[in-house]
Chains A and B, each alone.
Chain A
Amino acid sequence: MEKEFLSTSNRWMIYQYIQALDSGNLDNIERILQAAQQDARLDRMIGEINQEYANELRLTPLAQTSAKVKELLEKHFALGVIVVDTQPLTVGDVAARMTGDQELPQSHREIGKSLLNNSLVLPEWLSLQTVRQIGAKLLLADERFLRAFRDTALQMMMGRGQAQMAATRAKRSRRKTTSPKAAKSRK
């Protein structure tokens, strides 16, 4: 059997967490939760221990909470919890990201700096060929830079796509809860 990777300090933390729960000591619970914020294994074990306590205490799921919590999230969501950047991605946006990326070579970051104010909009489909054409327009021939530019641009596009999806999901969920049909079914 594979030996688990629970360190001695983590095991001790878990004992303390269980003892704190058994004695209802919120100070100690909080102290251990703070440590778990930076320790994924401890974080996961605490989740499992809580689940085990819920089974032991025969707690019933919080059915009515969802409506209240949903309302709260929707309220803040509507205030802009997710701000989706709908502006098209420009050469300058990508250059700004590259300038701050310490993993890129200094020469790439320097080229990035020279492109910061470039407002040329990037096409949605960014093939290497397209990037080369943009490079030719901007008098950039460094193939490695162009590849790094494309990678950065694709990462940024993916991030925007994910945020957009999350916002759409929330919109749909709001529509569902506020639609006459949903209201009727709640009645």
Chain B
Amino acid sequence: MKAKDQVVREEMAPREQLYVAIEEHLDHLKIGVQVLVARSGIAEGGVAINDVADEILAMALETAVHIADQYDPSLNAYSWLLTIASNKLKDYRKKVTREYRHADLIGNMPDPQQQDQSNSGHLWNELAEDQKFERMLSQKAGQSRLEDQLFGLEDLLSLANENDRIILQMAYVSDMSGQELAAVLNITEAAALMRLSRARSRLFTAYCKSEKMAREG
């Protein structure tokens, strides 16, 4: 049987549903936009970040309201709205870069369009490599569990620092989930996954470096 809330929402037009979703997610959306602005490097410092976030949020909501009739209520509204905000932020970053260039404040800054394209090409290579690395890490962890041969994984983990090694071992050797890591480390699941992701990322960098050194002899 459908929940009452779901039934009520299905009775509403997409536009009405979007308004309800905006109302419901607004506080989280503000935080999400602030984080995107802060991490995009467009603004530094609390006041500047909040000013830009404010502008991006308003632009994103304006766009959302304009395309409200096309809103698909089966999509998760938070991510949908944040995707629009992320798009607005990209445009904003391009605009700011262009303005800087026109003002000749930055001499040889590359064309943002070209930069984006090359970044995205680089990104795909990076993602493919990273995915391979994830498979290798899981494979080594699987082998060590099955055959009790920790050599391959230990070798790899020796490239990581002490703190990173602990969390990586918990995740890949003990096969702990995000929730289990959070319980052991006494932090939230999101914080645990952030630590794990960063440890993994540092290990990936160290691994690439060691591979390169090995190739160069």
Whether both chains belong to one complex is answered with yes
Scan residues 164-217 of chain B and give those whose CB is less than 8 A from a CB of chain A. 177-180, 183, 188-191, 193-194, 196-198, 200-201
B1 to A: closest C-beta gap in Å: 11
Select which of A25, A34, A61 is within 8 A of B83 by beta carbon.
A34
State whether A162 and B8 are in contact (beta carbons under 8 Å apart), knowing that A59-B31, A76-B65 are contacts in the complex: yes
A104 to B: closest C-beta gap in Å: 14
* A27 vs B127: C-alpha distance when bound (angstroms): 12
Task: Flag A49-81 by CB within 8 Å of B: 1 or 0 each.
Answer: 111111011111110110011001100110001
* A37 vs B74: C-alpha distance when bound (angstroms): 9
Q: Using a Cβ cutoff of 8 Å, how many contacts connect chains A and B?
A: 202
| Interface check B75, CB cutoff 8 A | yes
Q: Is there contact, CB below 8 Å, between A11 and B8?
A: no
Q: Is there contact, CB below 8 Å, between A158 and B76?
A: no
State whether A38 and B65 are in contact (beta carbons under 8 Å apart), knowing that A24-B40, A26-B93, A59-B34 are contacts in the complex: no
State whether A82 and B83 are in contact (beta carbons under 8 Å apart), knowing that A21-B35, A26-B36 are contacts in the complex: no
| Interface check B109, CB cutoff 8 A | no
User: Which of B84-92, B98-106, B140-148, B149-157 lines the interface with chain A?
Assistant: B84-92
Q: Is there contact, CB below 8 Å, between A52 and B191?
A: yes
Q: Is there contact, CB below 8 Å, between B78 and A47?
A: yes
Q: Is there contact, CB below 8 Å, between B10 and A83?
A: no
Q: Is there contact, CB below 8 Å, between A38 and B75?
A: yes
| Interface check A166, CB cutoff 8 A | yes
* A160 vs B16: C-alpha distance when bound (angstroms): 11
* A14 vs B7: C-alpha distance when bound (angstroms): 32
State whether A50 and B86 are in contact (beta carbons under 8 Å apart), knowing that A27-B119, A43-B76, A158-B8 are contacts in the complex: no
B103 to A: closest C-beta gap in Å: 22
Nearest 3 pairs of A and B residues by beta carbon? A159-B11, A48-B190, A36-B79
Residues of A within 8 A of B (CB): 1-4, 6, 11-12, 14-16, 18-19, 21-22, 24-30, 33-34, 36-40, 42-43, 45-54, 56-62, 64-65, 68-69, 72-73, 76-77, 81-83, 155-156, 158-163, 166
Q: Contacts A26-B86, A45-B189, A52-B188 given; 13 further ones with Cβ under 8 A?
A: A21-B36, A26-B40, A33-B79, A39-B76, A50-B31, A51-B28, A54-B31, A54-B35, A60-B50, A72-B62, A76-B65, A81-B15, A81-B68
Please name 14 pairs of A and B residues whose Cβ atoms are closer than 8 Å in the assembled complex, sorted by A: A1-B180, A21-B39, A22-B198, A27-B120, A28-B123, A29-B36, A30-B86, A36-B79, A39-B76, A49-B193, A62-B30, A159-B7, A159-B11, A161-B8
